[in-house]
Structure formats: C-alpha cells, structure tokens
C-alpha cells in the first residue's frame, strides 16, 4: 500500500479515542446524562422500594403503636378515609425521599470523580503516542506506552514532539477536523497527527506512525 493511500485511510478512520472527550458536553449536560443513567439503573428503584417501605412501616405502623394510639392499621384506615390526599402524600414522600437521595449521592460521586474516570478511560494500549496537553503544551495525561516513549526521548511538552509550528496549528484548530504530519528526528519517523479539543481547555493528541 502506498504512503498516500495509508494517509487517506488513516484520515477516514473514525476516532475511537474521541468517544469520551469529543461529546463537548457542558457540566449541566454531564449531570443530566448521569441522572439519566441512574434512572435507568434497576437497583435505584429496588433500594427506594426497600427504604420507602421501611419508612412507611415506621411512620404508619410502628410510631402509632409505640404511642399507644390503638390498632395502627385501624388508625391508618381512618386517616385514609378522612384525609386521603395527606395520607397518600406521606406514603409518596416515603418512597420519593430515598429515590432522590440515592440519585443525588450517586450523581454527586460520579461528578466529583469524573477526572479519575477520565484518566482510567484514557487509552493505554495504543502502540503509538497518545497524550493530553494543556494549551501551553504541557503534558497533562499520558498512556502507559506513551510515558515510556516520552521518557526515552526526554519529551516533556507537545512542542518537543510536534515542533513549534505544528503545535500552533493544532492549538489553533478547535474543530479537530484537520490532520497533519510531523517528522520526529530522534526516532527517524513520521507521524500522522490527529487531535480532539476538550471542554476544559485541553487537547487530546493522537499520533499514528507512518510506514517508511
């Protein structure tokens, strides 16, 4: 396969690595996505059902029994007959409270740990360099193999592997649609450069080594 053909094929490849950061979602849309995921989780409703039932039994049965208010089931029946809306509202709240608390706590934990999950999802097995940089070119995150590669050639910034001119082009292209090739002299190789801007003023850079 010719070099030009390889370049064309690589440019047409879908960027699988973009799946996590290329959504360009705001904080609010991220929160809504996490809420939607929690609402689709069956365990959310199982926990709410169990906790809500315990709360209802405590409030409607156990408390009246302790206070000596007579048969709690008779008391509940009378309350339902005379104040049905209030009784149903109290039962509804008994189930809604653990549901809301469960969703809030799960979403808050996921949102707080989103950076840790981002690092965990960052490509580790791609043989070519994959890294995330700040707008000044400083390294933010690296795949395991990329770290070894960078340490071997003493690379501590995007400029050192891409070159100043190529880095400025990458930084200026906020669409992430343009690709370019760079030569890395210490290795005697050329790489196709693809990149994906993120929502927090960082850039994911994906290098694919071209055949000689």
Is pLDDT above 80 for 167?
yes
Predicted TM-score (pTM) of this structure: 0.47
**190 confidence band (pLDDT: 50, 70, 90):** very high
Give the per-residue pLDDT at 151.
94
> Is residue 130 situated within a structural domain?
yes
Give the per-residue pLDDT at 200.
77
Which of 71, 191, 187, 79 has its CA nearest to residue 129? 191
- Opening angle at CA 73, ends 70 and 77, nearest 5: 105
Lowest mean pLDDT among 94-103, 127-136, 171-180: 171-180
Domain boundary residue, one of 115, 140, 157 = 115
> Is residue 66 situated within a structural domain?
yes
**181 confidence band (pLDDT: 50, 70, 90):** very high
Pair 65, 102 in one domain: yes
CATH of the domain at 136: 3.30.450.20
| Residue-wise burial string across 90-124, b where 16 or more C-beta atoms lie within 10 A, e elsewhere | ebeebbeebbeebbeebbeebeeeeeeeeeeebbe
pLDDT in tens, 105-130: 988 887 776 655 554 455 555 678 99
User: How many independent structural domains does the chain possess?
Assistant: 2
Domain boundary residue, one of 86, 115, 144 = 115
pLDDT in tens, 15-74: 444 444 444 446 787 788 889 888 998 999 999 999 999 988 888 778 777 777 677 777
Adjacency order of strands within the sheet including 189-197: 139-142, 130-134, 202-209, 189-197, 180-184
Domain range spanning residue 110?
30-115
pLDDT in tens, 66-102: 777 677 777 778 888 888 888 888 889 999 999 999 9
Pick 92 or 144 by higher pLDDT.
92
Give the per-residue pLDDT at 120.
47
Give the per-residue pLDDT at 163.
94
Give the per-residue pLDDT at 165.
94
Mean pLDDT within 132-150 = 91
Pair 41, 91 in one domain: yes
């Amino acid at each position: 396969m010719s070099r030009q053909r390889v370049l064309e094929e690589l440019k047409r490849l879908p960027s699988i690595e973009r799946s996590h950061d290329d959504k360009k979602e705001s904080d609010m849309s991220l929160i809504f996505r996490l809420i939607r995921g929690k609402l689709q989780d069956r365990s959310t409703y199982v926990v709410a059902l169990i906790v809500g039932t315990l709360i209802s039994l405590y409030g409607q049965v156990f408390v009246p029994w302790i206070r000596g208010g007579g048969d709690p089931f008779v008391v509940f029946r009378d309350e339902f007959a005379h104040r049905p809306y209030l009784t149903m509202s109290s039962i509804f709240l008994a189930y809604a409270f653990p549901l809301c608390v469960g969703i809030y706590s799960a979403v808050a934990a996921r949102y707080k740990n989103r950076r840790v999950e981002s690092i965990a999802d960052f490509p580790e097995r791609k043989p070519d360099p994959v890294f995330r940089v700040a707008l000044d070119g400083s390294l933010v995150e690296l795949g395991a193999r990329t770290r070894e590669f960078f340490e071997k050639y003493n690379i501590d910034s995007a400029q050192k592997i891409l070159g100043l001119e190529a880095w400025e082009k990458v930084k200026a292209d906020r669409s992430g649609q343009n690709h370019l090739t760079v030569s890395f002299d210490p290795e005697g190789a050329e790489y196709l450069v693809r990149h994906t801007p993120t929502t927090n003023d960082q850039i994911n850079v994906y290098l694919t080594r071209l055949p000689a």
